[in-house]
Amino acid sequence: MPPAPRPVDLRIDARWIAPVEPPGVLADHALIVDDGRVVAMLPGADASAAYSPRQTVVRPSHLVIPGLVNAHAHSAMSLMRGIADDVALQPWLEQHIWPCESRFVSPEFVRDGTLLACAEMIRSGITTCSDMYFYPDAAAGAYDAAGLRAVVGVPILDFATRYAATAEDYLMHGLAARDAWRHAPLLSFALAPHAPYTVSDATFTRALTYARQLDLPLETHLAETRDEVDSARAATGATTLGRLDRLGVTGPDFIAIHGVHLDATDIARLAAHGCHVVHCPASNMKLASGIAPVAALLQAGVNVALGTDGAASNNRLDILSEMRLACLLAKVSTGDAATLPAAEALAMATINGARALGLDRVTGSLQPGKDADLVAVDLAALPLQPVFDPVSHLVHVADRSCVSDVWVRGARILADGALTTLDEAAIRAQALVWQQRLLTSS
Ligand SMILES: [Zn+2]
């Protein structure tokens, strides 16, 4: 007699599955999930013989992919979406964002803004977000409520804000938040000195010491604008990456966000040290910062992930659209249409992001034993027909309205297009309250 089918939590019958590792597409397979983890992907008849699921979800026109990783965001800034369009980075920060933050940012602002961002990200197929903002304790609470996986960045600056007075204060507040959330299964922390132009050598060195002792990733905005790199050269004789390299910051736990203005030496350094770069194409284009040398970074062997940056400079939190922009920018900037095929963009949006954040053993691809962070994308709509290559369609044709279901660690947080963990009406109402406050103060 054949063995009785093994009871499992969930079976998803999908038209296509793109596991990312290995590359390629499985057609008409079932994905088996138990106890929050991927168990197997196999043809339907084999699945019926081997497994007895407590729940079956049939997705006959869908592509199932690993949950998307947004490797850089400032989630609470969603409450400032659209308040300052059409300005470059420095005036955007100095004349718009920092004055607004100095008046309004509070734990309540961060919680409400992060919940708004979580709702948008879940609807966009994002299951992991690497965040960097004030009051990380409040942000952690929002991610926990949403059931979203997050790497909460501990912000560090050398100037005082409502949140903290000194660099040491920023560190201590952030580490206290980390301690408070140490048992939350979907949360981890990183140290996030803001940028080379807002953080001194001494503060970078201090952050590095903590990062190494606590085994945390260290992330910073880097080489985002030409001005930043030129000023660094004038002041230190080195590029901003060269300056951080002298301090010993570069290493396999270092995440350089943006990396728009990197020279060949910088790229070789990043590759030699096993560093990671987070490419944020929409934000870089909107602030007119430039085009990151993604093709050269990938060719050098640097792990490149994708991020949205905050909604105040994007203005959306949508990794599906970042994938497409990354492909198009890489092609047009190199003059080579073969650069950055769709499958490579999908890897950047999933496993590369997980690797940058130190989560690649847990998420980023559909391999047995990894957490079941999954997204179902419906490719049935007329503008997507015909479907020759579902991964190409995911990157170049589908948009986030096609995302039907999202699971994080096996928990379904978007079911048939409905959020299951968040109260959309309450989030919308709070966004309107904050909009009124921001408007009446301007
Ligand atoms: Zn940023």
Domain boundaries, the chain: 6-66+365-409, 68-356
Distance 17 CA to ligand 1 centre (A): 32
Average pLDDT value for the chain: 96
Distance 74 CA to ligand 1 centre (A): 6
Q: Both tokens of residue 163?
A: 């949140």
Distance 98 CA to ligand 1 centre (A): 13
Distance 413 CA to ligand 1 centre (A): 26
Q: Both tokens of residue 133?
A: 């903002």
The CA distance from 283 to 289, in Å, is 8
Average pLDDT over residues 229-255: 95
- 142 pLDDT higher than 90: yes
Q: Both tokens of residue 352?
A: 């590369």
The CA distance from 223 to 216, in Å, is 22
Distance 199 CA to ligand 1 centre (A): 15
Distance 382 CA to ligand 1 centre (A): 36
Distance 312 CA to ligand 1 centre (A): 10
Distance 404 CA to ligand 1 centre (A): 28
Distance 294 CA to ligand 1 centre (A): 18
Instruction: Provide the pLDDT for residue 305.
Output: 98
Distance 251 CA to ligand 1 centre (A): 20
Distance 258 CA to ligand 1 centre (A): 8
The residues whose Cβ lies within 5 A of ligand 1, an ion, are: 309
Q: Domain spanning 68-356 has what CATH number?
A: 3.20.20.140
- 96 pLDDT higher than 90: no
Peptide bond into 136 cis (omega under 30): no
The candidate with the shortest Cα–Cα distance to 147, out of 440, 414, 431, 437, is 414
Strand 418-419 relative to strand 149-156: parallel, antiparallel, unpaired? unpaired
Distance 379 CA to ligand 1 centre (A): 32
- 223 pLDDT higher than 70: yes
- Burial class for 435, CB neighbours closer than 10 Å (0-12, 13-18, 19+): middle
The CA distance from 35 to 297, in Å, is 38
CATH superfamily of 6-66+365-409: Urease, subunit C, domain 1 (2.30.40.10)
Distance 311 CA to ligand 1 centre (A): 10
Hey, what's the torsion of the CAs at 110, 114, 116, 120, to 10 degrees?
Answer: 160
Backbone φ and ψ for 37, nearest 5 degrees, come out as -120, 155
- Whether this model's pTM surpasses 0.85: yes
Distance 94 CA to ligand 1 centre (A): 14
The CA distance from 70 to 178, in Å, is 20
Instruction: Provide the pLDDT for residue 234.
Output: 94
Distances (CA, A) of 206 to 174, 185, 191, 213, 261: 14, 28, 11, 11, 26
Instruction: Provide the pLDDT for residue 442.
Output: 56
Distance 188 CA to ligand 1 centre (A): 19
Distances (CA, A) of 194 to 161, 167, 224, 298, 349: 13, 11, 12, 25, 23
Distance 440 CA to ligand 1 centre (A): 27
Instruction: Provide the pLDDT for residue 98.
Output: 87
Distance 10 CA to ligand 1 centre (A): 37
Average pLDDT over residues 383-397: 98
Average pLDDT over residues 259-280: 98
Distance 91 CA to ligand 1 centre (A): 15
Distance 223 CA to ligand 1 centre (A): 12
Instruction: Provide the pLDDT for residue 1.
Output: 73
Distance 272 CA to ligand 1 centre (A): 25
CB atoms within 10 A of CB 190: 24
Average pLDDT over residues 149-173: 96
Instruction: Provide the pLDDT for residue 2.
Output: 77
Distance 335 CA to ligand 1 centre (A): 28
CA 166 to chain centre: 28
- 210 pLDDT higher than 70: yes
Average the pLDDT over each of 23-32, 87-96, 166-175 and give the range with the smallest value. 87-96
pLDDT in tens, 287-341: 999 999 999 999 999 999 999 999 999 999 999 999 999 999 999 999 999 999 9
Distance 377 CA to ligand 1 centre (A): 28
Query: Listing from the earlier edge strand, what are the strands of the sheet with 403-408?
Result: 37-43, 26-34, 6-17, 51-66, 374-378, 403-408, 411-415, 418-419
Distance 135 CA to ligand 1 centre (A): 16
